[in-house]
Amino acid sequence: MNITLRAFIKKELAQTLRDVRMRVLLFGAPVIQLTIFGLALSTEIKNIKLAFFYAPDDVMARRLEGDFYSSGWFKPVDFTAGEDPLELIVSGRADAAIIAPDEGLARSSERGEGRVQLLVDASNATKARTVETYVKTIISAGWAGKGGGAANPPPVKLDVRVLYNPAMESSLFLVPGVMGMVVCLITIILTAMSLAREREMGTFETIVSAPLSDAEILLGKTIPFVLLGLAVTALTLLAAYFFFGVPVRGPLWQLALGSLVFIITTVSVGTLISTIAKNQQQAMLGGFIFLFPAILMSGIMYPVENMPTTVIAAAYLNPLMCFMRILRSVLLKGGEAYVFWTNMGALALMAMAAGGLAYNRFKQTLD
């Protein structure tokens, strides 16, 4: 590597890492975030406040009620028997209410009219859907087991096995996602702001007047951020591996190559943003415009495939989604070649497009 470029990179790294707060932000924040999100978030819906209304002498219903609270999904609500179930939900004291018939479950089902009413607060539609599924599952299991219906095992049974994450631990699923998000965020902001800053402070002119070629300036301004991005990736990966026991089932070279190409893409996008922005505020808003959709359409929090087809097409232009798929595939599934190379190809195309565009715009701003 030529000596001017090396000096340039050194200056750039020193400038970024000089500030203690920046060092903390770069290397401390990702690990803290990984820890918080890994521990806090769960895709399972729990602690649903349930009120079960039934006549005092209804033994069946009391047994069912026990099933609900011992399932771990529901927790009891304090209420008096005379209260209006609707009022309980409207006031937010309960998320759901089950109302058994007055004559008792056993008698009403003997007459062939066995039914309970379920009221659900559907202001959260996802949660409401889950609550209904839970209730139906618990009721049919409890009913079959407690002698309400036939005590025989169900005639057709599905034997369910979950691959790659048998205990369905949320951290295994979310930690790779948070890793991708944090790396994406840091590299884009760092690059976009650094160039915009030089322009705002007027130091950009100094660099331009120095005996450096266009390519050298561009590389000198971007390589340090690629290196920092890689360091952050390695750090978060170590944290994920040691704190959360996220496995690394695929080959490491896939991880390294995927991260490198992904970071080159994000740094190019950052450069592109900074060539368009006139000052740091615009660079920040530009970064936001890219980051927000990229994160929401990455499949980190909910599957991309649910989106309307036109939007899915746009999601394939999202480098974070490709990186996400590579990360999950390598870490959890063992890095199947098909997944790796298709996403890698897409990432490489995006890296070239964004890099080429950034170089062009950059040259224009230099002249």
109 binds another protein (CB under 8 A): yes
Among 51, 77, 174, 344, binds another protein (CB under 8 A): 174
Among 13, 31, 45, 227, binds another protein (CB under 8 A): 45
**CB 73, min distance to another protein, A:** 9
10 binds another protein (CB under 8 A): no
**CB 167, min distance to another protein, A:** 9
178 binds another protein (CB under 8 A): yes
Cα distance between residue 106 and residue 282, in whole Å: 68
Q: Pick the stretch among 149-157, 205-213, 225-233, 353-361 that binds another protein (CB under 8 A).
A: 149-157
3-state secondary structure of 104: coil
Q: How many CB atoms lie under 10 A from the CB of residue 350?
A: 22
**CB 101, min distance to another protein, A:** 10
Q: Pick the stretch among 34-42, 203-211, 218-226, 228-236 that binds another protein (CB under 8 A).
A: 34-42
3-state secondary structure of 49: strand
Nearest to 232 by CA among 36, 31, 33: 31
Q: Which residue number, 210 or 314, has a Cβ lying nearer to another protein?
A: 314
| Length in residues, the chain | 367
Going by the DSSP 8-state scheme, the letter that residue 245 receives in this structure is: -
Site for another protein, residues 311 to 340, rule: CB under 8 A:
311, 325, 328-329, 332-334, 336, 338-339
Among 9, 12, 48, 273, binds another protein (CB under 8 A): 48
**CB 123, min distance to another protein, A:** 4
Q: Which helix (H) or strand (E) holds 75?
A: strand 74-76
164 binds another protein (CB under 8 A): yes
- Between helix 280-296 and helix 319-328 the angle, nearest 10°, is 50
Q: Which residue number, 276 or 348, has a Cβ lying nearer to another protein?
A: 276
Facing residues of 15 across strands? none
Cα distance between residue 106 and residue 148, in whole Å: 7
3-state secondary structure of 165: coil
132 binds another protein (CB under 8 A): yes
Nearest to 70 by CA among 142, 145, 128: 142
Cα distance between residue 288 and residue 273, in whole Å: 10
Instruction: Kindly report the backbone phi and psi dihedral angles of residue 169, in degrees, each rounded to the nearest multiple of 5, phi listed first.
Output: -70, 130
122 binds another protein (CB under 8 A): yes
Q: Pick the stretch among 4-12, 119-127, 237-245, 251-259 that binds another protein (CB under 8 A).
A: 119-127
Nearest to 196 by CA among 259, 285, 88: 285
Between vectors from CA 41 to CA 262 and to CA 240, what angle results, nearest 5°? Answer: 45
Among 168, 210, 238, 252, binds another protein (CB under 8 A): 168
Q: Which residue number, 41 or 212, has a Cβ lying nearer to another protein?
A: 41
Site for another protein, residues 244 to 303, rule: CB under 8 A:
278-282, 284-285, 287-289, 291-293, 295-297, 299, 301-303
Instruction: Kindly report the backbone phi and psi dihedral angles of residue 49, in degrees, each rounded to the nearest multiple of 5, phi listed first.
Output: -80, 110
Q: Is 206 exposed, middle or buried (0-12, 13-18, 19+ CB in 10 A)?
A: exposed
Interface with another protein (CB under 8 A), residue total 121
CB 131 within 8 A of CB 96: yes
Q: Which residue number, 32 or 215, has a Cβ lying nearer to another protein?
A: 32
**CB 347, min distance to another protein, A:** 16
Site for another protein, residues 55 to 94, rule: CB under 8 A:
86, 89-92
137 binds another protein (CB under 8 A): yes
Q: Which helix (H) or strand (E) holds 181?
A: helix 170-201
Among 139, 226, 240, 267, binds another protein (CB under 8 A): 139
Instruction: Kindly report the backbone phi and psi dihedral angles of residue 307, in degrees, each rounded to the nearest multiple of 5, phi listed first.
Output: -70, 160
Site for another protein, residues 199 to 218, rule: CB under 8 A:
200-201
Provide the CA 195 distance to its chain's centre, in angstroms: 29
Among 18, 21, 111, 364, binds another protein (CB under 8 A): 21
